[in-house]
Structure 1
Amino acid sequence: MTRTQPPPFSPSSEPSSHHGRGVGDGHGHSHSHAHGPAAPVSRQLRKVIAAILIPFTAAVVAGLVVLWPGGVPSHQRSGLGFDRQTQQATVTRVVEVDCASVNASGGGTPIGDTSTGGGTSGPQKAGGTCKKATVRVDTGKDKGRTFTEIVQPDQSRQLRQGEKVVAAYEPSAPRELQYSVTDVNRTFPMALLAGIFAVAVVIVGRLRGVMALVALAVSFLLLSLFILPAILQGSNPLLVAVVGSSAIMLIALYMCHGLSARTSVAVLGTLVSLSLIGLLGSEFIDWAALTGNTDDSTGLIHGLFPHIDMSGLLLAGVIIGSLGVLDDVTVTQTSAVWELHEANPSLGWRELYRAGIRIGRDHIASVVNTLVLAYAGAALPLLLLFSIAQSGVSTVATSELVAEEIVRTLVGSIGLVASVPVTTVLAALVVSADRPARTAAADGTTGTPRSGPGPAGPVPLPTARTGRGRRRKR
């Protein structure tokens, strides 16, 4: 008698032609390589996973409620750096003038903003040809008002007629000095690049790409509406970072990869790795006596909000910065183990772990290198200054500016390295522990392998869909 059930572990979407190919296998399994949704795990395993993640999710929600800020606290603007009033403006006219005349007379106009790279911090040249730009204010209460800007020939930013710029406004200055060009308006090119990115993600990722973009938007909302205002309001930066990054992790992973056991294992692996990063970061930031107050931006923050714990802010940055790469590693490792199990359901957890960790070693090498180079690229101007000063390697590495980046890089990298074996072993244990239950469910028996009549033991069975499979003669 020929049964019509498909072999166990075969996804329902698998083409019928694949079934006849596996009927002669001694294990009676059809090894599917389809990359469809992960098969659901047993109710018992779902209960175990839920018992861990539901309290964690409830704690994250409670943290969001307790720590949610009422908004960014108000303060009196200092007029320094980024803490200035700005308006949109347009360069309406540019003419060449003699630098000697404008520098000698002062011209009554600003000569460029040196805090953002628009001007030069050295003495102004007495000779040469400068540019005198007429700039029109396009927004705010002074809309339509014009002011002039003198651009030195050695400035990195040269103004052009018709160019959109950002003008800083200082109401306490004399009227002719209240406005000055501080930056270029980059709204259009940045928006265009973001649009190209979104289109590329949707074209390649399709529905997954759309969900990834939604998750990205939610992450930015949590960052701008919760994490930053809560820190400015005086909440502990480390606690805010842990709660915020956990919320981002849960929303992004489940939104992009679905509510499944496979995603839950990735969440658990990410959680363990983030905990390790937080512990190591806290210990070594304290041990190395890193203050987190090393440049103009952090100095300005500390001056405006002295109650903020700057070392805690540094640790919060380490945790949030590591989260994105951690998600990638844990999801990849979990998917690899799940696919290995689908390809060969007879593998035990040790075999699955060994196969998955071989994939993970390649991932570790590429991810750590990427992270180190990313931090090095961000700190390249600083490293160049040390090179110009001909400082020794030990002097550079132990200075607080560079030590911060080294601690940030190494702590994040240790967490990434640890996430591979942690996530792999969790995934291997889950799928291997669930294998007997799934086999029994697929066979409709109490857990014993399907077998044909007689003492010959298990006999592979054909499927009614193909008509090509035959019972092997013994």
Structure 2
Amino acid sequence: MGADHSRHAPPTPPGVRRVLVATVLPLVVATLVAALVLWPRDAPRPDPGQDAPRHHGTVTRVVTEPCPPTPESPEGTPAGSQGPCGTVTVRVDDGPDAGQQVETSIPTGPGAPRVEVGDEIVLVTLTDPADPTVSSYHIAAHQRGTPLIWLGVLFAAAIVAFGRWRGLAALAGLAASFAILLTFVLPAISAGQSPLLVAVVGAALIMFVVLYLTHGVSGQTSVAVLGTLASLVLTGLLGLAATAATHLTGFGTEDATTLSFFQADVDLHGLLLAGIIIGSLGVLDDVTVTQAATVSELAHANPGYSRRQLYQAATRVGRAHVASVVNTIVLAYAGASLPLLLLLTADSRAVGQILTSEFLAQEIVRSTVATLGLIAAVPLTTALAAVVTRAGRDRAATDEAPPSPEVPRPGTGRAEALRALSAPRGTPTSTATRSGWPDPDRSTDTAW
């Protein structure tokens, strides 16, 4: 996460560094203490015995045949599945029947996998409720492990090849983000902790680890950390106010409704806020790191810039960045909600009713709050970076400025000096050439 800026920032003066450490270190300690308090100790564990056994297999034969006639459905009733029909022969690769050939019907229905000879698939064993001693194999899905592994290897290789050590640090930060989500955020929410509080603490943990790991421990990174944390808090407060004003319950999606059946004690309203905060973090740290680096580069290129000039120049860059990132946020939400948007086109209700419904209002609030937090991150981070950078430059200029060396005057011979002194007023005198010797052909009279 975050933008990459390969040129190292100038060292922060000791006084400014002490102020940043005194500000950031208590926040890190507070985040770690909160994480320890909220750490899940009694998170519910799924019962593996409730899952149907799954085994890997390879398709060796596919036989298709005409589907039997189906009874006519009344007009207006959705038509049932029309095939394909037939049988699939599968060689079981693991489990008690490893090496054996089993037959099963061709998968049908919406989303059913389409199989061919040679496909590696996942078999699920289903037991007959009437006779528990009778079981049968059914094709559940394709095996996707190997393609996903190769895609991950290509992803990591491209990042390391382009980013080198910085790319390797970015991969480590990505792994740390998933580790925090899987070991702390999700289990803590499942254990009944406040989703909003867990999301704030988890996002702060991710931010500290990823930013300092990816961009190094420096004053510039500390400025980005403070700007990101302030923007996250603001995003959380805006989300809390927006969801309360729109009376959102968190039951706007089918996934949330299904979750309520499995874990009735989960606060879905808090889960909605947690999703807004964690979803905003990835964009916020990109903007804050970019703004901090922009201020540092402007101060390096124009040492005479004041705080106000640094802020104005960097804000112009931030406006262009925010304009593109806002479009990115909206398109990301739209891309993730394409089935929902297609469903809206088939809805016969009025547009006002559709926009104010729970499931669409939830997406509007999510994207709007994330955008407002993103916009606030630019002036917050830019102002803080301008103050820190200018303070560092002024202190460095005062402490490290070398004394101005005396420029030696070009030497002249005794004869030339006597000739210049004895020359009448108004007579052009000789000037020194670039080599330090007088040039009698060059005039020093001022041109009017």
Query: TM-score range, shorter-chain basis?
Result: 0.7 to 0.9
CA contact (8 A) 2:251 2:358 kept: no
AA paired with 2:66? D
Q: How much does 1:403 deviate?
A: 1.2
State how far apart, in whole Å, the 2-side matches of 1:154 and 1:217 are. 35
> Which of 7, 12, 37 in structure 2 is aligned with 1:66?
37
The share of aligned pairs that are identical, in percent, is: 44
Deviations 1:29-58 (A, max 9, x none): xxxxx9631111222111111111111100
Alpha-carbon offset, residue 155 of structure 1? 6.6
Which amino acid in the other structure matches residue 80 of structure 2? P
Equivalent position amino acid for 1:131 in 2: G
Q: Given the superposition, is the C-alpha separation of residues 63 and 391 from structure 1 closer, same or farther in structure 2, using an over 3 Å criterion?
A: same
SS in 1 for 2:271: helix
The 8 Å contact of residues 104 and 139 in structure 2, kept in 1 or not, is answered as: no
Give 1:48's aligned residue: 19
Equivalent residue pairs, number: 396
Q: 1:348 to 1:172 in 2, by over 3 A?
A: farther
How far residue 159 of structure 1 moved from its aligned partner, in angstroms, is 1.4
Alignment partner, residue 232 of structure 2: 274
TM-score when scaled to structure 1? Answer: 0.77
Distance 2:151 2:181 in 1: 21
User: Residue 57 of structure 2 contacts residue 90 of structure 2 at CA under 8 Å; is this kept in 1?
Assistant: yes
Residues 69 and 230 of structure 1 are in contact (CA less than 8 Å); yes or no, is this contact kept in structure 2? yes
| 1:134-172 superposed Cα distances (whole Å, 9 cap, x missing partner) | 334444456556351233498763211221223344457
In the alignment, is the contact (CA less than 8 A) between 2:87 and 2:103 conserved in 1? no
Structure 1 stretch displaced more, 241-250 or 381-390: 381-390
Task: Please give the alpha-carbon distance, in whole angstroms, between the structure 2 residues aligned to 1:363 and 1:100.
Answer: 60
Q: 1:320 to 1:35 in 2, by over 3 A?
A: closer
Q: What displacement does 1:377 show?
A: 0.9
CA 1:58–1:149: 2 relative to 1, 3 Å: same
5 Å-filtered alignment, 1:220-369, equals 220-369=178-327
Match of 1:151, SS state, is: coil
Q: Is the 8 A contact 1:129 1:153 kept in 2?
A: no
One-letter code aligned to 1:41: T
Given that 1:234 and 1:307 are in contact with CA atoms closer than 8 Å, whether structure 2 keeps it comes out as yes
Secondary structure of the 2:68 match is helix
CA RMSD of aligned residues (A): 2.7
Displacement of 1:90 in angstroms is: 3.0
Report the counterpart of residue 385 of structure 2 in structure 1: 427
CA displacement 1:270-305 (0-9 Å, x = unmatched): 001100111111121222222222333222221111
Q: Deviations over 1:19-38 (max 9, x none)?
A: xxxxxxxxxxxxxxx96311
Structure 2 counterpart of 1:218, which letter? A
Distance 1:408 1:437 in 2: 43
2:66 matched to 1:133? no
Q: Does 2:55 align with 1:100?
A: no
Which residue of structure 2 aligns with residue 157 of structure 1?
113
Structure 2 contact 127–134 (Cα < 8 Å) conserved: no
* Native 8 Å contact 1:92 1:135 kept in 2: yes
Letter in 1 for 2:44: P
Tell me, yes or no, if the aligned pair for 2:57 and 2:123 is still in contact at 8 Å: yes
Largest Rg, 1 or 2: 2
Q: Matched residues in 2 for 1:293 and 1:375: separation? A: 18
Whole-Å Cα distance in 2 between the matches of residues 315 and 154 of structure 1? Answer: 33
Determine the C-alpha separation between the residues in 1 that align with 2:332 and 2:39.
32
1:395 deviates by: 2.1
Give the equivalent residue in structure 2 for 1:123.
Answer: 80
Of 229-238 and 143-152, more deviation after overlay is shown by: 143-152
AA aligned opposite 2:58:
T
Question: What SS does the corresponding residue of 1:100 show, helix, strand or coil?
Answer: coil
